[in-house]
Chains A and B, each alone.
Chain A
Amino acid sequence: MIRVKDTSYQYAGGTRMVFPDFHIPKGKHGVLLGESGSGKTTLLHLIGGLLRGHEGRIEVNGVDLASLTEHGLDQYRGRHFGFIFQKNHLIASLTVEQNLLAAPFFAELPQQEEQVDALLAELGLEGKRHARVQELSHGQAQRVAIARALINKSALILADEPTSALDDRNCDKVIRLLMEATTSHGATLVVATHDQRLKSVLPVAVQLEAHT
């Protein structure tokens, strides 16, 4: 699913991030572990096509990301990746349904109402379909963000620090929910975090060293 080899990233006039070689097979959920400054977010963004210009080779689903044009990368990102961030970053001016349908719209995929129904039911959000984002609790908002990441049937779900602000009980709940949801949709989950609690939960762990 993901293959990273001889990869590094040079920030303009700043640090150079060097990443270890690793491979995360399809269906095996993985975690990129590292302290802040270790470049785990940079690596996650490189894998997710949110950041360009790396050296070396990053392959997702057999495609070398560096070979894509900017427009090609936009499309590839929209169709193959779902993102979940620590702050859920829902679009506050839209309703829950509109937030979900924004994903297929921007990825230029058909917008299917049934999928919205199914996902809301699966994540226990029935009745929140027309709710405004501000009316949601933190947990509900996070589940909407998960639904949004899943709606395009993306092969890869990338999550940046989804649990770091949570206590043990909620951390466990969220990571189980994430793993169950991605598994049931046939997707592979990759989490970037400094949260050591996740190390034992996810099958593949990649340890990143801090750069000085």
Chain B
Amino acid sequence: MNLIILAWSYLKSRPLTTVLNVVLLALGTGVITLLILFGNQLEEKITANAKGVDLVVGAKGSPMQLILCSVFHIDFPTGNINLKEAERIARHPLVKKAIPMALGDSYRGFRIVGTRRDYAELYAAELAEGKWWEQHLEVAIGATVARQLGLKLGDEFVSAHGLAEDGHDHEAHHYKVVGIVKPGGTVLDNLILTNVQSIWLAHDLEVGPAGNAAPSNLVPGHLAGDSSREVTSLLVQYRNPLAVIQLPRFINQQSSMQAAAPAYETARLFSILGVGADVLRGFALVLILVSGLSIFLVLYNSMKERRYDLAIMRSMGAGRGKLFTAVVLEGTFLTALGTVSGLALGHAVVWIFAATVPQAAASGIQGGVWYVAETWVLGGSLVLGVICSLVPALQAYKTDIHTVLAGN
């Protein structure tokens, strides 16, 4: 016999109320856990994917769309930009590095990106098998692509125009898998990488050697200043902090292109999503407060029913402090049970979501991650449990043995 058994026995003696309180609290803390898991992982993924990209230069249109398309590969291109103009930007003294992106084709839902090898270096990607592309139409595929499509080294495929699985096929040209990239938890896992010329080839455009003309600073092996060729966008790294102010203004005002900063656009995206998250969080907090109130009421009422128990315990030698502790323990048990269920619920929902929704799996969101913020949820709920049981515990503390047992 001890206080834990005693507190637990009281919870067991009214199973329906206990379950109701646990469920109420579990819903509240579950939603909070869900927000923590999604919010943090989304932010981590976004930060990891936008790493090393200071500015994206593309065709005029929505800057958010440009970022979503060129950095996160979840939206359609805003259009194309002229290679000659793009080269001009790449030569700008404030630009340290410019990586071209040729987008628009896909294979069974996975994007084909015509770029340079330093795009993969941006994410410190390594090969699991094979080699990086060297010839036109050679591709290195991301880990998720390889797993989901069952592609192996040496496999060939034809690309489709657009991003849908049933787009028009470019049947004349076959891509060949020469490398498979190790999984890195970035957007690279879901991409098929090749050189820019391969994309042009697939669209029946000629790609010739540079010959004697100066080679392009963006597309190695192509001649410079070719205004008949286009790319989708440029990923730009600044040379120095001065570029933060000058470069976007220069591009937006003095060219037919637009420049968008991933940092700014993702912050904007978060502030838009944030409203929804705030509403959910508010709702969850209301649930938690209501469950706190409910726990208080249950304990408060049960103190009246339990006054004989309390008096008997005191007659057996229990000090006031012991009864106080027993009630606080009961409230804390209840909230601990609810919160642990809520945390488990949140993780389970994310886990099921990641296991059943392909987009979630592709984005790399997992249910089995623990964040420090969850410890705060647990701690906060335990404090709530203590607070809710303070007044009932005080009633227990003040139990007058004589009055109760004498029945007057």
**Residues of B contacting A79 in the complex (Cβ-Cβ under 8 angstroms):** 317
Q: Is B316 an interface residue (CB 8 A)?
A: yes
Q: A45-B406, A51-B401, A91-B312 are in contact. Are A106 and B12 (CB under 8 A)?
A: no
Q: Is A105 an interface residue (CB 8 A)?
A: yes
Whether B406 lies near A89 (C-beta < 8 A) is: no
Q: Which residue of B lies closest to A48 (CB)?
A: B315
Mark interface residues in B1-31 (1 if CB within 8 Å of A CB, else 0). 1100110011011000000000000000000
Mark interface residues in A47-65 (1 if CB within 8 Å of B CB, else 0). 0101100000000000000
Specify which of B5, B311, B317, B402 is in contact with A106 (CB 8 Å cutoff): B317
Mark interface residues in A73-92 (1 if CB within 8 Å of B CB, else 0). 01101110101010101011
Count residues of A near B (Cβ-Cβ below 8 Å): 33
Whether A50 lies near B315 (C-beta < 8 A) is: yes
Q: Report Cα–Cα, A85/B314, bound state, in Å.
A: 14
Whether A45 lies near B405 (C-beta < 8 A) is: yes
Whether A98 lies near B402 (C-beta < 8 A) is: no
**Residues of A contacting B319 in the complex (Cβ-Cβ under 8 angstroms):** 71, 74
Q: Which residue of B lies closest to A102 (CB)?
A: B1
Q: Report Cα–Cα, A79/B317, bound state, in Å.
A: 7
Q: A45-B406, A91-B309 are in contact. Are A98 and B316 (CB under 8 A)?
A: no
**Residues of B contacting A71 in the complex (Cβ-Cβ under 8 angstroms):** 319
> By DSSP majority rule, is chain B's interface helix, strand, loop, or mixed?
helix
Whether A106 lies near B318 (C-beta < 8 A) is: yes
Q: A50-B315, A102-B316 are in contact. Are A92 and B405 (CB under 8 A)?
A: no
Whether B317 lies near A93 (C-beta < 8 A) is: no
Whether B9 lies near A107 (C-beta < 8 A) is: no
Whether A98 lies near B406 (C-beta < 8 A) is: no
Whether B405 lies near A85 (C-beta < 8 A) is: yes
Whether B312 lies near A107 (C-beta < 8 A) is: no
Q: Report Cα–Cα, A103/B316, bound state, in Å.
A: 6
Whether B317 lies near A74 (C-beta < 8 A) is: yes
**Residues of B contacting A83 in the complex (Cβ-Cβ under 8 angstroms):** 312, 315-316
Count residues of B near A (Cβ-Cβ below 8 Å): 24
Q: Is B313 an interface residue (CB 8 A)?
A: yes
Whether B6 lies near A94 (C-beta < 8 A) is: yes
Mark interface residues in A150-185 (1 if CB within 8 Å of B CB, else 0). 000000000010000000000000000000000000
Q: Is A111 an interface residue (CB 8 A)?
A: yes
Whether A93 lies near B315 (C-beta < 8 A) is: no
Whether A78 lies near B317 (C-beta < 8 A) is: yes
Whether A160 lies near B9 (C-beta < 8 A) is: no
**Residues of A contacting B10 in the complex (Cβ-Cβ under 8 angstroms):** 93
**Residues of B contacting A42 in the complex (Cβ-Cβ under 8 angstroms):** 402, 406
**Residues of B contacting A21 in the complex (Cβ-Cβ under 8 angstroms):** none
Q: Is A41 an interface residue (CB 8 A)?
A: yes
Specify which of B2, B309, B317 is in contact with A89 (CB 8 Å cutoff): B309
Whether A78 lies near B316 (C-beta < 8 A) is: yes
Q: Which residue of A lies closest to B317 (CB)?
A: A78
Q: Is B322 an interface residue (CB 8 A)?
A: yes
Whether B1 lies near A89 (C-beta < 8 A) is: no
Mark interface residues in A102-123 (1 if CB within 8 Å of B CB, else 0). 1111111001000000000000
Q: Is B200 an interface residue (CB 8 A)?
A: no
Q: Report Cα–Cα, A92/B312, bound state, in Å.
A: 12
Whether B1 lies near A75 (C-beta < 8 A) is: no
Q: Is A147 an interface residue (CB 8 A)?
A: no
Q: Report Cα–Cα, A74/B319, bound state, in Å.
A: 6
Q: Report Cα–Cα, A115/B316, bound state, in Å.
A: 17
Whether B405 lies near A50 (C-beta < 8 A) is: yes
Q: Is B308 an interface residue (CB 8 A)?
A: yes
Q: Nearest Cβ in chain B — how far from A14, in angstroms?
A: 11
For B6, B12, B312, the residue with the greatest tally of chain A CB atoms inside 10 Å of its CB is B312
Q: Report Cα–Cα, A172/B139, bound state, in Å.
A: 100
Whether A102 lies near B313 (C-beta < 8 A) is: yes
Q: Is A189 an interface residue (CB 8 A)?
A: no
**Residues of A contacting B311 in the complex (Cβ-Cβ under 8 angstroms):** 89
Q: Nearest Cβ in chain A — how far from B12, in angstroms?
A: 7
Q: Nearest Cβ in chain B — how far from A80, in angstroms?
A: 9
Q: Report Cα–Cα, A160/B311, bound state, in Å.
A: 14
Q: A91-B309, A93-B10, A93-B13 are in contact. Are A77 and B1 (CB under 8 A)?
A: no
Interface residues of A (CB under 8 A from B): 41-42, 45, 48, 50-51, 71, 74-75, 77-79, 81, 83, 85, 87, 89, 91-94, 98, 101-108, 111, 148, 160
**Additional A-B contacts beyond A45-B401, A50-B401, A93-B13 (10; CB < 8 A):** A45-B402, A45-B406, A50-B314, A50-B405, A91-B309, A98-B5, A105-B1, A105-B2, A106-B316, A160-B405
10 A-B pairs with least C-beta separation: A78-B317, A93-B13, A101-B1, A107-B317, A106-B318, A51-B402, A106-B316, A93-B9, A105-B1, A50-B401
- List, sorted by A's number, 6 A–B pairs whose CB atoms are closer than 8 Å: A71-B319, A77-B315, A77-B316, A85-B405, A92-B13, A101-B1
